Amino acid sequence: MDRLAVFAPGTASNIGPGFDCLGIAFTGLGDTVRAARTDAPGVRVLSVSDERIPTDPLRNTAALGAAAVLKRAGLQREGLELRVEKGLPLAAGMGGSAASAVAGALAAHEIMKTRLTRIDLLMAALEAESVVSGRHADNAAPCLFGGAVIVAGLDPPEVTPVKVHDSLGLVFVTPAYEVATDEARRVLPAEVTRADAVGQAARLALLVLGLEHGDGDLVRRAMWDRIAEPRRAPLYPGYPQARTAGLEAGALGVVVSGAGPTLVALAPRAARPAVAAALVAGYAKAGIDARAHVAEVDAAGARVVP
Q: Is 129 found in the same domain as 51?
A: yes
Strand partners for 82: 35, 45
Q: Is 209 found in the same domain as 254?
A: yes
Q: Is 141 found in the same domain as 75?
A: yes
Given a cut of 90, whether residue 183 has pLDDT beyond it is no
pLDDT value for 205 = 97
pLDDT value for 57 = 96
pLDDT value for 133 = 76
pLDDT value for 81 = 98
Q: Is 172 found in the same domain as 123?
A: no
Q: Is 191 found in the same domain as 98?
A: no
Convert the pLDDT of each residue in 240-253 to its tens digit: 999 999 999 999 99
Percent of the chain clearing pLDDT 70 (strictly above)? 100
The answer to whether 211 and 162 are in contact (CB under 8 A) is: yes
Give the mean model confidence (pLDDT) for residues 180-207. 92
Convert the pLDDT of each residue in 22-56 to its tens digit: 999 999 999 999 999 999 999 999 999 999 999 99
Q: Is 192 found in the same domain as 257?
A: yes
CATH number at residue 185: 3.30.70.890
CATH number at residue 49: 3.30.230.10
pLDDT value for 242 = 97
Q: Is 116 found in the same domain as 16?
A: yes
Q: Is 183 found in the same domain as 135?
A: no
CB count, 10 Å around CB of 142? 34
The CA distances from residue 259 to 1, 14, 68, 89, 114, in Å, are 38, 8, 25, 13, 33
pLDDT value for 52 = 92
Given a cut of 90, whether residue 216 has pLDDT beyond it is yes
pLDDT value for 264 = 98
Q: Is 281 found in the same domain as 181?
A: yes
Convert the pLDDT of each residue in 123-145 to its tens digit: 999 999 988 777 889 999 999 99
Q: Is 116 found in the same domain as 13?
A: yes
* Count of domains forming the chain: 2
Q: Is 101 found in the same domain as 189?
A: no
The answer to whether 103 and 302 are in contact (CB under 8 A) is: yes
Separation between Cα atoms, residue 174 and residue 261, nearest integer Å:
6
Q: Is 183 found in the same domain as 139?
A: no
* Structural domain range at position 263: 168-295
How does the average pLDDT of the chain come out, rounded?
95
